[in-house]
Amino acid sequence: MAMIQCPECNKELSEKARFCPHCGYPLQSEADNKEKKTYKLTLGTVSDTSGFATFLKVMAVVLWIGGLILAIVGGKTITIDSWGDIDSKFSFVQFLSIFLTYLINGIVLWCFAQVVDQVKETHEIVSGIKLDRIEEPKEGRSKVKTNDGRLTLTSSGITWRCKKCGTVNPAHSQYCQECGEYK
């Protein structure tokens, strides 16, 4: 088994080690680095209301208007007595029963149109999902100004600044990469 030197603490360790047993520095082979990729999630766009949902909403309005007209006409009760006299009465109960029937059916149709719209939007979002690979930032020093010794979140991850030389180092390293000063 071949031995390599830790880039952090310069002590010998196995080439198959994933972490330095002395300082904990993560060791990754080139294959591991190539596998590490960052992706950006992009959702699909949502278009306006579908034609079918619009048709259903128009039909709901037609049901409401038609139901009102039928309720007005159906609410009238015409009776002819034995003498041939015509008597017309308006029955509010009959009007209400006809109108509520059409009103409820229109509401159900309108709600169904809303469900159709939501299903269409969900389908467009889900079918438009794609992952775009984001290029990793190049290795090097980050130009982040922080107070000495504080951990800072940068584009390349969490870092700390050396108190001695001011170099920004990755959070996993215990020693400064430039001067060797302990964190």
Reduce the DSSP state of residue 76 to 3 states and report it. Answer: strand
Q: How sure is the predictor about 104, in pLDDT bands with cuts at 50, 70 and 90? A: very high
**Residue 76 bridge partners (DSSP):** 90
Average pLDDT over residues 58-79: 90
pLDDT value of position 133:
64
Tens digit of each residue's pLDDT (9 = 90 or more) over 106-142: 999 999 999 998 888 888 877 777 766 665 555 444 4
pLDDT value of position 76:
86
- pLDDT over 70 (residue 183): yes
In one-letter notation, the amino acid at residue 172 is H
> Which residue is associated with the tokens 């992009």?
42
Read off the pTM: 0.45
Could you give the C-alpha distances from 134 to 15, 40, 45, 59, 153, in angstroms and in order? Answer: 30, 6, 21, 48, 18
pLDDT value of position 149:
44
- pLDDT over 70 (residue 148): no
pLDDT value of position 89:
87
pLDDT value of position 30:
44
Identify which has the larger pLDDT, 80 or 55: 55
Tens digit of each residue's pLDDT (9 = 90 or more) over 10-64: 888 888 777 787 887 887 654 455 555 666 667 667 777 778 889 999 999 999 9
Between CA 144 and CA 150 the distance in angstroms is: 11
